[in-house]
Amino acid sequence: MPLTPLVYWAQRHEEIYLRVELTDAQDIDVQVHEKVLQFRGLGHGAKGQNEYDFSLEFLLPVKSEVSYRSTQRQVIITVRKEQRGWWERLTLQERKPVFLAPDFDRWQDESDAEMEIREKEEKRNKLKASRHKEEGFVSLKTAFLFVYNLVQFLGFSWIFVNMTVRLFIFGQDSLYDTFHTISDVMFFCQILAAVEVLNAAFGVVQTGVIPTLIQVVGRNFILFIIFGSLEEMHNQPVVFFVFYLWSAIEIVRYPFYMLGCFHTEWKTLTWLRYTIWIPLYPLGVIAEAVAVIQSIPMFDVTKLFSIPLPKTIGTSVSFSYVLYIYLVLMFVGLVINFRHLYKQRKRRFRTKKRKAN
């Protein structure tokens, strides 16, 4: 003979919760027809291990889909109200069935429930607002990166095209006046490149700060100290090779980033971005090293940037010592960035392959 378990209830504007006190319940069957809920199940209740059942006729219509979950201690049933609203009692009959009691763990009166809804609504609105903010930030960031990359692309394209055209027109002669014709734009692009260090440092782009710092500081050292400060270096052909190698990678790298801003890619461009540094980087470092070595006697003669020593010692330390140290640093920088670019290349092509599979 089935027994009746203890049932606790609570409501919200849209739902009814029933908690059936049955331990280790099995063979549970819960059904709702019209306004009547029927429960049947085997388990350990107030009267020991037995079959338990009950039925409830709700005050108002409910939806026929009912959900329940059984834990070790109880069965929790959720029934959705047909119409949103607050019920003055659970059952149609005014007298409360004896096995039914309020679930004080979940109990809320109407105003509590309304407060809960308002809090949920507020939370949802806040989340929406923060999502809007985030989206606004993302589009601002994308616009900023796109404009930055476009400016750099235009700058380096101008340099590359100008040098190539001059090479065709003036042949070898063009190697001697690269600095005079190109340096203004190169100064502009390389000063602007400091933005890349900030982008990496502030997480605007997901990349390491050190490789970017090495790249920007390394190039600006050559541009401002070696070429910029020594007039004797201005008409050296090495300027041509350094500028040409720098701009050759940048006319590929920046359009690659520009497409990346729109989550687009052009496979050939991606391949070029992650491949042509393999010959260009060592060549670039060699060209820069040649420039540094060429400048050493010039710094010795002009005593530019030499560090004066106290009068008692009487002489000064030539800047060329700094340059010897810099040559070593260049080699270290080359190794760090070569490894970094190799890792980026592997990561890029590995992910692509995985996506393709």
Residue 8: in which H helix or E strand, if any? Answer: strand 7-11
C-beta closer to ligand L7CU2Q4V: residue 227 or 277: 277
C-beta closer to ligand L7CU2Q4V: residue 39 or 244: 244
Q: 337: how many CB neighbours lie within 10 A of its CB?
A: 20
Q: 39: how many CB neighbours lie within 10 A of its CB?
A: 24
C-beta closer to ligand L7CU2Q4V: residue 86 or 321: 321
Q: Which amino acid, residue 91?
A: T
- The DSSP code sequence of 98-144 is TTEEE-TTT---HHHHHHHHHHHHHHHHHHHHHHHHHHHHHHHHHHH
Binding site residues, ligand L7CU2Q4V, CB under 6 A: 145, 149, 205-208, 211-215, 217-219, 245-246, 249, 253, 257, 260-261, 277, 280-281, 284-285, 288, 329-330, 333-334, 337, 341, 344
| Least distance between ligand L7CU2Q4V and beta carbon 166 (Å) | 20
Catalytic residues: 281, 288
**C-alpha to C-alpha distance for 17 and 40, rounded to whole angstroms:** 17
| Least distance between ligand L7CU2Q4V and beta carbon 188 (Å) | 16
Q: What is the dihedral of CA 18, 19, 24, 27, to 10 degrees?
A: -10
- Cα radius of gyration rounded to whole Å, the chain: 38
- Residue with CB nearest ligand L7CU2Q4V? 284
C-beta closer to ligand L7CU2Q4V: residue 54 or 257: 257
Q: Which amino acid, residue 96?
A: K
| Least distance between ligand L7CU2Q4V and beta carbon 143 (Å) | 12
C-beta closer to ligand L7CU2Q4V: residue 28 or 238: 238
- Do strands 23-33 and 36-45 pair parallel, antiparallel, or not at all (unpaired)? antiparallel
**C-alpha to C-alpha distance for 43 and 202, rounded to whole angstroms:** 60
| Least distance between ligand L7CU2Q4V and beta carbon 258 (Å) | 8
Three-state SS for 257-296 is: HHHHHCCCCCHHHHHHHCCCHHHHHHHHHHHHHHHHHHHH
**C-alpha to C-alpha distance for 186 and 242, rounded to whole angstroms:** 11
- Residue 314's alpha-carbon distances to 77, 106, 234, 307, 310, in angstroms, are 95, 89, 32, 12, 6
| Least distance between ligand L7CU2Q4V and beta carbon 259 (Å) | 9
C-beta closer to ligand L7CU2Q4V: residue 17 or 281: 281
| Least distance between ligand L7CU2Q4V and beta carbon 179 (Å) | 17
